[in-house]
């Protein structure tokens, strides 16, 4: 195995029956990322979540920073076929 080890962790916390907070991190000698988000249960209409991730990496003498935003929607479509 080559390279330096990566340490990671995540959390999630239900605020109530409809809202949740979540986040996580990955850490390495040359890379760090941190994410945090919020999710909403839309009950029979599915679920919606929004999160932000900040990353910092070092390559040689350069330091790169970036941020990403993500919006997710999920729903289960149940189709029953009777043969």
Please state the domain count of the chain: 1
Model confidence at 3: pLDDT above 70: yes
What b/e readout covers 8-36, taking b as 16+ CB neighbours within 10 angstroms? eeeeeeeeeeeebebbbbbeeeeeebebe
Domain assignment present for residue 15? The answer is yes
Distance of CA 48 to the CA centre of its chain: 13
Model confidence at 78: pLDDT above 90: no
- The number of beta carbons lying within 10 Å of the beta carbon of residue 39 is 20
For residue 61, the model assigns a pLDDT of: 87
Domain assignment present for residue 37? The answer is yes
Domain assignment present for residue 17? The answer is yes
Domain that holds residue 23: 7-74
The neighbouring-strand residues paired with 24 are 10, 35
**Measured between alpha carbons, how far is 76 from 17 in angstroms, rounded to an integer?**
18
Domain assignment present for residue 1? The answer is no
Domain assignment present for residue 46? The answer is yes
Domain assignment present for residue 16? The answer is yes
Mean pLDDT score of the chain: 94
């Amino acid at each position: 195995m080559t390279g330096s080890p990566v340490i990671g962790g995540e959390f999630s916390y239900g605020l109530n029956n409809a809202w949740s907070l979540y986040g996580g991190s990955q850490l390495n000698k040359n890379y760090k990322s941190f994410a945090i988000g919020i999710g909403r249960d839309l009950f029979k209409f599915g679920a919606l979540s929004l999160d932000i991730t900040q990353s910092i990496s070092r390559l040689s003498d350069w330091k790169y920073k970036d941020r990403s935003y993500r919006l997710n929607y999920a729903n289960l479509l149940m189709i029953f076929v009777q043969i």
